[in-house]
Amino acid sequence: MIYCSQAISLTYRLGLLDPDQGQVQVYGRPAAHAVAAGLVGAMLQDAGLMPGVRVGELLAMVRSLYPRPLPLDDLVGVADLGSLLRRRVDRLSGGQAQRVRFAAAIAGDPQLLVLDEPTAAMDVQARRNFWQQIRAFAGRGRTVLFATHYLHEADDAADRVVVIAAGRKIADGSPSAIKASFGDRQVRFTVDPGSPVSLAALAGVRAVEQRGTRVTLHSSDPDATVTSLVGSGLQWSDLEVGGLDLEASFLQLLGGQS
């Protein structure tokens, strides 16, 4: 299972901060106890690695902190560290350091892996590899909870998405369920500037976005919208009809809030 949530709640979840009200429970116990019992592993944003040691030494030390660590060979395989074990931690590239952080986070074979903006500093290839590694880890029957600003990442990787805005939960479900809950589709086309027809008046249109000559209509009934577009006398071209992506759904959710 892979969940996606929002960043700030993660620090509470891990017991790094105490909530003002209420309490945070993980696996039926306070968050800090779950961490102490080795049930939780985490990759925090901008978290560093112990300086002045080799990658192999660091991972051996982190494994020794957990009651049931993953075998070192598994760790090296999952995080793709084969050639790095003898490298000094201070001499790693950004992507390599992130792999070592990932290995440290799963060293204890935690039930729950928490990732806070895990791919923020990665290039496209590294990001793709990383999500493959995460899926491999989740495939062992583990839960992964991550926070991200890249909504397409949540769309691609998460089984369940929780959207929190201004401190309130505004959506909770699978990415496809969230997208489907709007029932909206997008109708895109290019139009001559200065057209007299009001695009918002076309059948089924709920929202209009226009960038230059490119128009995106959010429609509850794309068939009706296209029919009325054809009958409108507008000069249009490059018609596309498609679903909303998660980012557009998210923006609609936020729009509905205000």
Point out which residues bind another protein (CB under 8 A): 11, 14, 16-17, 35-38, 40-42, 44, 46-53, 57-58, 60-67, 101, 104, 108, 114
- In whole angstroms, how close is the CB of 36 to another protein at the nearest point? 5
- In whole angstroms, how close is the CB of 63 to another protein at the nearest point? 8
- In whole angstroms, how close is the CB of 59 to another protein at the nearest point? 11
Indicate the pairing of strand 185-191 with strand 160-165.
unpaired
- In whole angstroms, how close is the CB of 94 to another protein at the nearest point? 14
- In whole angstroms, how close is the CB of 65 to another protein at the nearest point? 5
Going from the C-alpha of 28 to that of each of 16, 21, 31, 66, 244, the distances in angstroms are: 18, 18, 9, 19, 37
Cβ closer to another protein: 105 or 244? 105
Q: Using only C-alpha atoms, what is the Rg of the chain?
A: 23
Cβ closer to another protein: 113 or 157? 113
Q: Cβ(157)–Cβ(4) under 8 Å?
A: yes
Q: Cβ(99)–Cβ(80) under 8 Å?
A: yes
- What whole-number distance in Å separates Cα of residue 144 and Cα of residue 5? 10
- In whole angstroms, how close is the CB of 116 to another protein at the nearest point? 10
Cβ closer to another protein: 104 or 191? 104
Nearest CA to 251 out of 210, 213, 218 is that of 218
Q: Cβ(204)–Cβ(220) under 8 Å?
A: yes
Cβ closer to another protein: 42 or 202? 42
- What whole-number distance in Å separates Cα of residue 9 and Cα of residue 173? 18
Cβ closer to another protein: 97 or 187? 97
- What whole-number distance in Å separates Cα of residue 161 and Cα of residue 154? 7
Cβ closer to another protein: 69 or 175? 69
- What whole-number distance in Å separates Cα of residue 175 and Cα of residue 19? 29
Cβ closer to another protein: 51 or 82? 51
Q: Cβ(155)–Cβ(242) under 8 Å?
A: no
Q: Spell 172-199 as b/e; 16+ CB within 10 A means b.
A: eeebeebbeebebbbbebebeeeeeeeb
- In whole angstroms, how close is the CB of 33 to another protein at the nearest point? 10
